[in-house]
Chain A
Amino acid sequence: MSELTKKSLTEIANLIKKKEIKSEEVTQSFIKNIEKDKKLNSFITKCSELALKKAKDFDKKPKLNNLLPGIPIAVKDLFCTNGVKTTAGSKMLENFIPNYESTITNNLWNEGAFLLGKLNCDEYAMGSSNETSYFGNVMNPIAENTVPGGSSGGSASALTANLTPATIGTDTGGSIRQPASFTGTVGLKPTYGLCSRWGIVAFASSLDQAGPMTKSVEDCALMLEAMAGFDEKDSTSINKKKENYSKNLTDKIKGLKIGIPKEYRVEGMPKEIDKLWENGKKILKDSGAEIIDISLPNTKYALPAYYIVAPAEASSNLARYDGVKYGFRSSKGNNLIEMYENTRSEGFGDEVKRRILIGTYVLSSGYYDAYYLKAQKVRQLIKNDFDQAFKKVDTILTPSTPSSAFKIGEKKDDPISMYLNDIFTVPVNLAGIPAISIPAGHDNNKFPLGLQLIAKPLDEQKLLNIAFAVEKKINFKQMLNRWWEK
């Protein structure tokens, strides 16, 4: 493996800017690593030739003032890429080639980056272990037969294995932060509306948000800066001035108030997680921040509310896959209705069907008030909890996940235990606020664990600054034996 691919995104970008290396050299190095992806299965589509051509074009006429000059980037296969297959991890879209580009990927390309490949994910981003993908499980580089988390599992795995210098995922209930925690990487879910949803295959529209996944907080600031911005094509996009997150990044956090919510100390949580949480508190205190105990009383109701809201929106969004205009069509069926029913039966996997049926049920005549309306009310209570907390504190510190990465197959047949993975991440999506997961250390199995920082809407800079301060003192080191290359 080339030493170059071990470097952070910021380091690589600076080397290119100083003309010490060429984009072609960088791209070749990553392509070489990607050739050994077979056991990890993190890529669905490799764009090596296309990327090399772009790298050579860049080197001929380098634009060095961009944020991501000549940087190859692989992205979650949920972002539509013009002329490149976009599958959402589903048989339904196995041969779908968009003729347009998502706003987020377009923003990256406008800053000098180009596409390196499309990364595996849970089918339609529905899953917490990357086991629901039609294109097979993704393995976690930390250990064989271990899940990388999900749904952005391919993104987390490729990033950790140095197959891409940085990546992007989407987070509907934890799909960026949980895999980041499972792989010892940094993942940020921005404020709802900061990053455009246009051109992203939709799961639950009121919760979906794209965000960066990187090796360091500094890289995370750089990527977010490139991604964020107003987009007329997304009616929920926030119209505000662009911020220079990377330039304004500082570890000076003296005097900031950090809340510790007692409800996140859940029963059965491994002691190691508690220990890392305590360590996080200590680091923040040593950095001059003030630690304050807070309460978010409705936390335990977030997950049940999520499992009404998200499937309801999914059942509506996924109604478009009918085998008529694009995507898979079943050859069975004697009339239009049978064609629809067989197409959707053969084209969707089990988890997607499960969620479409939950969603259809909670929205069906006679049940709307009991479920969907009730969940929207609970969502208000959860948002109120955060609003109250942010009157007293600047950010909230919690563990990212209630466990470290688990074995493939371990939770596959028990949907509830799988859903519980997202217990600490889901409240943030329901409230539409930003949160970041950063590596906090390892458990006894030497598996990484993450800490989550949560802030009020549009407070990404503060979130990044605090994460930057904590990251410096934690000094997390990956422990990989690169088993997949053997």
Chain B
Amino acid sequence: MSIDKDKIKHISKLARISLDSKKTDTLAKDLSSIFKFIEQLNELNTDKTEPLSSILNEPLRSRKDVVNDGKIREKILENSPQKNEEFFVVPKVIE
């Protein structure tokens, strides 16, 4: 299947990645050839095959919902690009 520029614009919107028109062109070309390659899978009949969702034989383990670290607010905030006292700061979202 070929992927056109409009499709690239749509999925880049979904993925929250802004693209200029040159990048959009290149990606349309790249993704078209990649999907052509991927679509070899259509040769295979998988009507009677169950999808493999986990390669482990047992179900995923869940742990008790308890705090085992915590009290590291300052440390966490150290890595934030913009902070104000104990908050992460983002551009204004409410007018």
Contacts and interface: CB of A to CB of B under 8 A. Distances in A.
Nearest to B55: A432
A308 B91 CA distance: 34
Instruction: Provide the main secondary structure of the chain B interface.
Output: loop
A336 B55 contact: no
Contacts of A131: none
A242 interface: no
Contacts of A236: 54, 56, 60
A131 to B, nearest CB: 15
Given A99-B76, A371-B38, A416-B33, A377 B11 contact: no
A356 interface: yes
B31 A341 contact: no
Contact of B33 (A301, A333, A336, A415): A415
Contacts of B39: 304
Contacts of A206: 54-55
A373 B51 contact: yes
A455 interface: no
Contacts of A17: none
Contacts of B93: 335-336
A329 interface: yes
A62 interface: no
B37 A307 contact: yes
B15 A360 contact: yes
B78 interface: yes
Classify chain A: how many residues form its interface, as a range. Answer: 35 or more
Given A323-B81, A360-B15, A415-B30, A235 B60 contact: yes
B50 interface: yes
A360 to B, nearest CB: 4
A165 interface: no
B34 A307 contact: yes
Contacts of A329: 81-82
Contact of B51 (A301, A324, A341, A376): A376
Nearest to A309: B52
B8 to A, nearest CB: 7
A278 B55 CA distance: 32
Contacts of A334: 91
A297 to B, nearest CB: 10
Nearest to A100: B69
Interface string B1-27: 001000110011011111100010001
Closest 6 CB pairs of A and B: A432-B55, A376-B51, A329-B81, A326-B79, A377-B46, A341-B18
Given A192-B55, A301-B41, A345-B19, 9 more contacts: A301-B44, A304-B39, A336-B90, A360-B14, A361-B11, A375-B41, A378-B49, A379-B52, A419-B37
26 contacts: A97-B78, A192-B56, A235-B61, A235-B63, A236-B56, A301-B41, A303-B37, A304-B39, A304-B41, A315-B15, A325-B76, A326-B79, A326-B81, A327-B79, A328-B81, A329-B82, A337-B16, A340-B16, A344-B17, A348-B17, A354-B27, A361-B31, A377-B51, A378-B44, A378-B49, A380-B52
Interface of B: 3, 7-8, 11-12, 14-19, 23, 27, 30-31, 33-34, 37-44, 46, 49-56, 60-63, 72, 75-76, 78-82, 88, 90-93
Interface of A: 96-97, 99, 192-193, 206, 232, 235-236, 238-239, 298, 300-301, 303-305, 307-308, 315, 322-329, 333-342, 344-345, 348, 353-354, 356-358, 360-361, 364, 371, 373-381, 383, 415-416, 419, 431-432
